Amino acid sequence: MSEELSLGDPMRPRKKKLSRGSIRRRKSTNIFVAFFIDLVVVIGAALVLSLLIKSFLIRSFFIPSGSMLETLQIDDRIIVNQLTPALYPIERGDVVVFKDPGGWLGPDVSEPTDPLVVSVDWFLSAFGITAPDSKQHLVKRVIGIAGDKVICCDADGKLTINGVPITEPYISAGQPPSAIEFEIEVPPGSLWVMGDNRGNSEDSRYHGDLPSKGFVSTDWVVGRAMVISWPFENWAWLDNYPDVFKNIPKP
């Protein structure tokens, strides 16, 4: 005959009572674990969102040269709107970032780097935190769009676009619009670009002997530079000076 233990039977195993200190420690551990999980989820979501934004909307670049002085300083970081020209047309005066159309940067602009640094840089660049490929891109100001006839220079030493002279306030102080005379007509789907530092910018003027004839296909454009994001003291929206080009007739 089996015997059942009664509730009051001293042989029945009893649950061990936790002390108040143990309860507090367990609660603290649970709170820490929950906080850690929330933190991982938030960071992961932010990185995924950053990746999507960088892939489709905006991304950052740094300025490797002085061709856009005084508008852009060397090592400035800029935010680029990648919806231009995919959804929004490029306009005269826009500062654009574009890939090398071929031969503008020379045969090789890469720099040997430690493999670990390259790997970390590649990972961070996927989220727009770094911009390791900035030196494989160029930053210039759009002067002529498809169909425009751009001539340098008139009797007053000004550029003319479709017969209308323009005064360019963005050019570095004391520099002429161009020390090189030229007369071009921008072909369809292309741009004529020039640096604001006209005396030290190897832009469209210097690449007429290449297959592109110095023009930049809109297919090579990554986007329009919108703002200087770093260093903080240089923070500024990048103007495309609509008043400079407002009287230019259509080609």
Q: Is residue 14 part of a domain?
A: no
What are the Cα distances from residue 34, in Å, to 30, 39, 45, 48, 97? 6, 9, 16, 21, 44
Q: Is residue 251 part of a domain?
A: no
Q: Are residues 46 and 104 in the same domain?
A: no
Answer yes or no: 6 catalytic. Answer: no
Q: Are residues 31 and 64 in the same domain?
A: no
Q: Is residue 13 part of a domain?
A: no
Full domain range(s) for residue 218: 59-245
Q: Are residues 160 and 225 in the same domain?
A: yes
Q: Is residue 6 part of a domain?
A: no
Residue in 60, 67, 190, 201 annotated catalytic: 67
DSSP letter string over 74-131? TT-EEEEETTTTTTS---TT-EEEEE--SSSS-S-------HHHHHHHHHHHTTTS--
What are the Cα distances from residue 44, in Å, to 41, 51, 84? 5, 11, 28
Q: Are residues 70 and 168 in the same domain?
A: yes
The pLDDT of residue 37 is 72
Q: CA-to-CA distance for 249 and 186, rounded, in angstroms? A: 15
Q: Are residues 28 and 90 in the same domain?
A: no
Q: Is residue 15 part of a domain?
A: no
Q: Are residues 35 and 150 in the same domain?
A: no
Question: What SS3 state is found at 183?
Answer: strand
Contact by Cβ (8 Å): 193, 141: yes
pTM above 0.85, yes or no: no
Q: Are residues 52 and 63 in the same domain?
A: no
The CATH number assigned to the domain holding 199 equals 2.10.109.10
The pLDDT of residue 173 is 83
Answer yes or no: 67 catalytic. Answer: yes
DSSP 12: S
The pLDDT of residue 172 is 84
Contact by Cβ (8 Å): 217, 177: no
What are the Cα distances from residue 146, in Å, to 31, 90, 105, 193? 62, 10, 24, 12
Q: H-helix or E-strand containing 155?
A: none
Q: Is residue 2 part of a domain?
A: no
Q: Are residues 40 and 120 in the same domain?
A: no
List per-block mean pLDDT (blocks of 10 residues) for the chain, which spans 251 residues.
45 54 60 64 55 62 92 93 83 96 74 53 52 79 98 95 97 91 97 96 95 95 93 93 95 84
The pLDDT of residue 234 is 93
List of long-range contacts for 40-49, beta carbons under 8 Å, 24+ apart: 47/127
The pLDDT of residue 6 is 44
Q: Are residues 50 and 64 in the same domain?
A: no
If one counts the domains in the chain, the total is 2
DSSP bridge partners of 193: 142
Q: Are residues 28 and 109 in the same domain?
A: no
Q: Is residue 148 part of a domain?
A: yes
Q: Is residue 10 part of a domain?
A: no
Residue in 60, 134, 140, 178 annotated catalytic: 140
Question: What SS3 state is found at 154?
Answer: coil
- Tokens found for residue 228: 């200087």
Question: What SS3 state is found at 70?
Answer: coil
The pLDDT of residue 139 is 96
Q: CA-to-CA distance for 152 and 144, rounded, in angstroms? A: 12
Q: Are residues 142 and 32 in the same domain?
A: no
Q: Are residues 43 and 113 in the same domain?
A: no
